[in-house]
Every structure is written in C-alpha cells, then in structure tokens.
Structure 1
Amino acid sequence: MIRSWPLTLLSLCLLPLLLALGSWQLQRADEKQQIIADIDARLAAQPRKLSALESPEIFTPVRLLGFYTDEYFYLDNRTRNGRVGYEVLQVFVSGQQRWLINRGWLAAGSSRNQLPEVNYPLAAKVINGFLYPVPAGKGLANIGAHARIQMIDTGLTAVLGLDEPAWSIRLSADSDTALVTDWEFVNSTPARHKAYAFQWFSMAAALCILWLLAATNIRSMITAGIIRR
C-alpha cells in the first residue's frame, strides 16, 4: 500500500508535532479561561477601603474619597477598537495618601502636537477601581505635569511621591470620573487559542489526506475497485 517511505516517515514525524501544538493551544485556552474567571470573581467583590488592606493584591476592588490634583499624564500609544489615543494617569489625594489613578482612554486629536483636553472635578469625589501593579523601572527624573509618556514604571511613581509607588488604581466603568475603560486583562482570549488549535488540527488532517494521496496506492486501489464493479 505504501509507495513512498520518505514521505511516510516525514508525515510520521510531523503528525505528532501538529497534534501536540493543537493540544497545547487548547490547554492555553483553558488556562486563560481560568484566569479570566479568577479576575471576574475578584472584581465582583465589594470595594474595600485602602486603609483596611493588609497588603495590596492585584485586582482588589477599592473605594477612595478624595480629590484629583492637576498632576496628570498622557500614556501614549493606547488603542481602543482600533483607534489610537492615550490613557490618562492622574494623581488622586485621599486623606494623607497620594495615589496614581488610571482614568481610562481618550482619543488622540488630529495632530500629534495637540493633546486632548482632560477634564476633572475640583470638588471631592468618591471613586471606584481596582489595584494594578506598576512595573519596576528608572522612569524620568525631570518629567513635567501634563506630559506625554511612553510607559509607566516605579521610577515615575517614585518621583510623584506616591504612598505605594509599586501600585496604581484603574477606575471601574461605574466611576463617574472614568473615561473609556474596556481594560484588557489577558493578551489573548480563550477563543483565539481555540482558533489556533483548530488551525493545527486542520493542518494535521490535511497532512493525513496528502499522505494518503501522495505516499500510498489508495487512489489506484479505489480506482481498481470501481473498475471491477
């Protein structure tokens, strides 16, 4: 039945690899689904006062009473639904503590030289959000307020004199001072991993069909059977 052993051996080497890659993508989809479920469960909890937290934990819902300062920054190259814009980072004072709040996304203007206007209340406000870590880094020592920045790190937050430089707060969509939130918690969705798995399994199926047609006598055997009938 087999008329090409080199193609057969090549197919035997490739088939397990393709199946393994498809299974790995399905496993990644399950892992991402579990991560999303854990995040949703944590975000669904009642907001807590920061003073009641023993130690900060990512995605812990919090509620603060205080006011925004005029210290805000434009986090550059942030997109929502394919549109380019900025995430607005602004200092919020609650009691004696200073926190960096990510208020969400603003669309960029028609020109890079014109930054979008940031509006904020002057009176005291209650805001709802969740804790999110700030990556470690050196930051910019001489950054000014209302500046355009490429990234946020502990170097920047240390310069701002925050009480917790390693943490920021991302606003929830129900906060009235929130801009466009639509936070992305995982870099790829379970559906995308399942699509990748389908592609690998499809390639495995195509390899089997090509092997049957190119490396075996299946076509001639089927043709002979039809002729005999």
Structure 2
Amino acid sequence: MRVEIPSVSAKKNSVPLIRNWPITLFSVGIFPVLISLGFWQLERAEIKDDILVEIDTRLSSQPVTPDEDLDFKRFMPIGLTGKYMDEYYFLDNRTRNGRAGYEVLQVFTSDNKRWLVNRGWIPLAEDREIFPEITYPKEVIRIIGFLYPVNKINSGKRQEKKGGQRIQSLDSQFTKELDLYEDHWSVRLSSDSISVFLTEWNLISSSAERHRAYSMQWFAMAIVLVMLWMFTATNFARITRNIISKNN
C-alpha cells in the first residue's frame, strides 16, 4: 500500500482563503445588521401602505355628525354645523412648497360643543412680529373635515400677541386649556369646505416608496461590503487565478 506524502512545493502552492481576520470579523458583524435594516425598511413600507389604504377608505366615506356614542378614529370625516368663535391661534413653522407660514387653528362651536378646527395654511406676513389678519364667517355655517390626533408630547412654547397666539406644537396640554369637547382631536378642514385656507395636508411623515428606496440602499451597502471583504481580506482573486491557470 502506497501513501503519497504531499510535496513541499504542493504546500507552498496552497493558498488560504482568509488573509485578514480583523476585517473578516468586522464584516461578519456588520453584514447581518445591514440586511436587517433593509428588511426593517421594507416592513415600514408595508405599514405605510396600510395607512394609505386606511386614509383612502375613511376619507372616501360620508361625513358623520359626532355624538357621544361615536368611536372616533383618525381620518374619520365629520360634519359640523355651528359658528366660529373669536379664538384663533397660529401653529408656527408650517411650510407649503418651501414657503414658511402658519396653520390657523380656530375654535368652532356646534351644539354647544367646542371643537378645534385647523383651517389650513397661510403665509407669514412681511414682519414676523405682526400676525396675519384672519377673517371668518360670523353666521352659522356647516364645515366638513376629518379627525386628526393631537400631539401627546407637550412643547410648552407659545407666544401671545394682540390678535392671536403663536404656538409651536398642537399638543394635549394646549388643547386641554381650551375646554374642548374632544381635546385629543382636531378637525382638519377638507379642501372644499367653507372658510378653508390652503390645505395640502401631509398625512404621513414619509411615503412607502421612500422606505423602499432606503431598503435598497441598505441591501446595496451589504453587497458592497461583501465585495470589499473579498478583495481586501481574502485571497479569492489569487485562488481564482490559480484555478483558471490549472484548467488551462
């Protein structure tokens, strides 16, 4: 029985795959993180798709008249008949098409119940220290809008001036001071409602397409990481050349 002992030259020709273990360990640790972030962004995209379906379904339904038995939900269309009160506020740092301005919040009374109505956006005056002049119908009118939740995080920042009050956040602390029928909700006017300003409501912070784009970026980074690892921490190219040369 013959036992072939590898020659010294054969040992010299063998090439290990890994030639830089620190980079390899780093890549092994980072790769699953990048993949996880990619799938996380895909999950967020699916959530945003569900929210858009919810928005379309509710906003396309007929407005309801709120009562004590109604289960309030975000984006639920409602109709209110009543009058505006001489209580309005300027929600600061709101933009439309890159232009700074306010969203006008005003108390509306319907059946002796006070609601906070967001009438939409107006641009800043030339002098920021002067509030824009606000007009509104004095008679009884019917308005159409949808429910939108109030921010639960309190900012505590507001500035009072003659002719209005500037607030930085529409939060629960502010709405509780107004003695509203529902201080957890505001009513955003529909674009065709009476007394509305510019709407163009931003109902979600970011679109599903943006999250999918982010996911592709994370997956692309994972691919680049693998390629960098192969060329900087392995002898893959050398091994490949050796295999090709032997086959030739």
Q: Hey, what does 1:160 align to over in structure 2?
A: 178
SS in 2 for 1:51: coil
**Structure 1 residue 7, shift from structure 2 partner:** 2.2
Q: Which secondary structure does the structure 1 equivalent of 2:63 belong to?
A: coil
Q: Establish whether residue 3 from structure 1 lines up as the match of residue 19 from structure 2.
A: yes
Structure 1 counterpart of 2:195, which letter? Answer: T
Stretch moving more, 50-59 or 191-200: 50-59
Contact 1:90 1:101 in 2 (8 A): yes
Q: Quick one: which of 190, 202, 206 aligns to 2:208? A: 190
Query: What whole-Å deviation, never above 9, does each CA across 1:4-42 have from its counterpart, x for those lacking one?
Result: 233222222221111111111111111121122112212
1:175 match: 193
Q: Displacement, 1:120?
A: 1.6
How far is 1:128 from its partner? Answer: 0.6
Identity of matched residues, %: 45
Q: Deviations over 1:200-224 (max 9, x none)?
A: 1111110111112112223334555
Partner of 2:137: 121
Describe how 1:11-30 pairs up with structure 2 within 5 A: 11-30=27-46
**Match for residue 108 of structure 1 among 119, 124, 131:** 124
Number of equivalent positions: 229
Q: Is the contact between residue 63 and residue 129 of structure 1 (CA under 8 Å) also seen in structure 2?
A: yes
> Counterparts of 1:138 and 1:207 in 2: how far apart (Å)?
42
Aligned counterpart, 2:101: 85
CA contact (8 A) 2:131 2:164 kept: no
| Deviation of the 1:112 alpha carbon | 1.1
- C-alpha RMSD of the superposition: 2.6
Of 216, 223, 247, which aligns to 1:205? 223
What TM-score do you get using the length of structure 2 for normalisation?
Answer: 0.81
Give the drift of 1:71. Answer: 1.3
Q: Is 2:151–2:169's contact at 8 Å kept on the other side of the alignment?
A: no
Equivalence for 1:134: 150
Larger deviation, residues 111-120 vs 69-78: 111-120
Maintained 8 Å contact 1:141/1:159:
no
Q: Is the 8 A contact 2:107 2:117 kept in 1?
A: yes
SS for the counterpart of 1:40 is: helix
1:60 Cα deviation (Å)?
1.4
Contact 2:91 2:170 in 1 (8 A): yes
User: What is the aligned partner in structure 2 of residue 56 from structure 1?
Assistant: 72
CA deviation after TM superposition for structure 1 residue 169, in Å: 0.8
> Alpha-carbon deviation of 1:140?
8.4
Closer, same or farther in 2 for the Cα pair 1:5/1:163, shift >3 Å?
closer
Structure number, greater radius of gyration: 2
In structure 1, runs of 5+ residues without a counterpart are none
Q: Which residue of 1 aligns with 2:5?
A: none
Deviation per CA, 1:77-130: give whole Å up to 9, x if none: 112222211010011122322211001111112321122222222232211101
Question: Which residue type is aligned with residue 107 of structure 1?
Answer: P
1:141 deviates by 11
SS of the equivalent of 1:88 reads strand
Deviates more, 1:155-164 or 1:8-17: 155-164
Residue type of the alignment partner of 1:160:
L
Which TM-score applies when normalising by structure 1? 0.87
Distance 1:199-1:117 versus aligned 2 partners, 3 A rule? same
